[in-house]
Structure 1
Amino acid sequence: MPDVRGRVRGPAIAAGTLLLALAMPALVLLPPARGADGTHETGGTDGTSGTSGSAEPVPAVSGAVPPPETGAGELTESIATYDVVLALGTDGVLRVRETITYDFGDTGRHGIVRQVPFRRGDRLYGIRGIRSSSSTGAPARVRTMKLLNDVQISVGGLQREVRGRQAYVIEYEVEGAFTPRPDHDVLVWDAIGTRWDVPIRNAAVRVEAPVPLRHVTCAAGTSGATTRCLRDRDGPYAVDFIQRTLAPHEGMKVRVRLPKHAVAVQPPRYVPPRWTGGWPGTALLVLSLGTVALLSRGPVPRRRAGPALAAAGVLLVAADAGAEVAAHGLWAFSLGDRCLAGLALVIVGAGAMLVHRFRAV
Structure 2
Amino acid sequence: MRRWIFIFLLLLFAFAAPALAQQKIYEISNYDVELVMRPDGSYRVTETITFDFQQGTFTFATRNIPLDKIDRITDVQVQSDDVALRDVSVEVRGNEELIRWTYPERTGPTTFTITYTVYGALFEADGKNLIDWDAIGTGWSVPIYDVDVRVTVPAAFNLTAADIHIEPRDEGRLTETSGGYVASFSYPRLSPHTAYRVIVSFPRQLPGQTRSRATPAGGRSGRRIAPTGEQVAGGVIAALLGLIPGLIAFFRWRGPQLRLTAMDRPDVSLPRAAVLLNGTSAAGQRAFAAVVFDLAARGHLTLRRVKHKTWIFSQKRVEVDFHEDPGDLSPFERELIDELRDYETLEEFGLRASSFRSETLKEIYNDLVEEGYLENHMTRSIGLIAATVP
TM-score scaled by structure 2? 0.43
Larger Rg, first or second structure (1 or 2): 1
The structure with the greater share of residues assigned to helix is: 2
**Which protein is richer in strand relative to its size?**
2
- TM (norm. structure 1) is 0.46
- RCO (CA 8 Å, sep 6+): is it higher in 1 or 2? 1
